[in-house]
């Protein structure tokens, strides 16, 4: 499950080539990524604490799963495969939206991603991979929002940016139903 390359893209998500993952993060090159948000039937969100050995963001809390599709991968299949690998979860995923973000993280690295956001529903018990994940929890959305507001540095940069976008999208979708 080695993911040592990234797909370089432009602001329209057109693939421009590939690069070693760490080099792209050192140089801050825009590349393709995905983030998966999982909710349960109670409306709680699954978040996880990244393993301390991660190249950045170790010990920070984030969404259920996030990674980089590899060259030649189907985006959704890559997301499903990574969710199974990291959290031991299999569920249907739907793409909700995409966004671009850029920000400095520790170790002199820069996250600059065209992030495809997926959402799924799962009511079981995750069986997480301890190489990737230190801990997880199901959390009420309002409690999560309060935690993020009070302690933003406890969460990854992409999570802090994607969460309000996702909640706006969920509210919009719900209002149309």
pLDDT at position 16 over 60: yes
Flag whether pLDDT at 1 surpasses 90. no
Average pLDDT, the chain: 94
- pTM surpassing 0.85? yes
Return the closest-CA partner of residue 86 out of 45, 47, 132, 124: 132
Distance of CA 145 to the CA centre of its chain: 17
Residue closest to 56 by CA, chosen among 102, 108, 123: 108
Chain centroid to CA 95: how far? 12
pLDDT over 90 at 170, yes or no: no
Q: Which tens digits make up the pLDDT trace of 92-138?
A: 999 999 999 999 998 899 999 999 999 999 999 999 999 999 999 99
Q: Are 121 and 38 in contact (CB under 8 A)?
A: yes
Quote the pLDDT of residue 2: 67
Of the candidates 61, 121, 44, the residue with the CA atom closest to the CA atom of residue 89: 121
What's the pLDDT at 177? 44
Return the pLDDT at 175.
46
Tell me the two tokens of residue 76.
Answer: 């959704």
Structural contact between residues 80 and 129, judged by C-beta atoms closer than 8 angstroms: no
Residue position matching structure tokens 């329209």: 12
To which residue do tokens 């509210």 refer?
171
Helices (H), the chain: 21-27, 75-87, 141-150, 157-176
> Could you report the per-residue pLDDT of 51-107, keeping only the tens digit for each?
999 988 999 999 999 999 999 999 999 999 999 999 999 999 999 999 999 999 988
pLDDT of 35 above 90: yes
**How many angstroms separate the CA atoms of 155 and 162, rounded?**
11
What average pLDDT does the segment 1-9 reach?
86
Structure tokens at 155: 């969460």
Contacts 24+ apart (CB under 8 A), 103-106: 103/157, 105/25, 105/56, 105/57, 105/157, 106/56, 106/57
pLDDT per residue over 137-169, tens digit each? 999 999 999 999 999 999 999 999 999 999 998
Catalytic positions:
66, 113
């Amino acid at each position: 499950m080695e993911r040592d390359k990234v797909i370089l893209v432009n602001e329209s998500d057109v693939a421009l080539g590939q690069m070693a993952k760490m080099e792209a993060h050192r140089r801050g090159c825009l590349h393709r990524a995905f983030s998966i948000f999982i909710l349960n039937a109670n409306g709680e969100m699954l978040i996880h604490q990244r393993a301390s050995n991660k190249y950045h963001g170790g010990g920070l809390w984030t969404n259920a799963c996030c990674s980089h599709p590899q060259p030649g991968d189907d985006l959704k299949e890559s997301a499903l495969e990574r969710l199974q690998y990291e959290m031991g979860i299999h569920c249907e995923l739907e793409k909700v939206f995409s966004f671009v973000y850029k920000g400095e993280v520790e170790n002199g690295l820069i996250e600059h991603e065209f992030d495809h956001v997926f959402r799924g529903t799962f009511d079981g018990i995750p069986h997480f991979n301890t190489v990737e994940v230190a801990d997880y929890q199901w959390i009420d959305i309002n409690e999560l929002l309060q935690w993020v507001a009070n302690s933003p540095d406890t969460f990854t940069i992409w999570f802090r940016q994607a969460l309000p976008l996702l909640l706006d999208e969920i509210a919009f979708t719900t209002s149309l139903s």
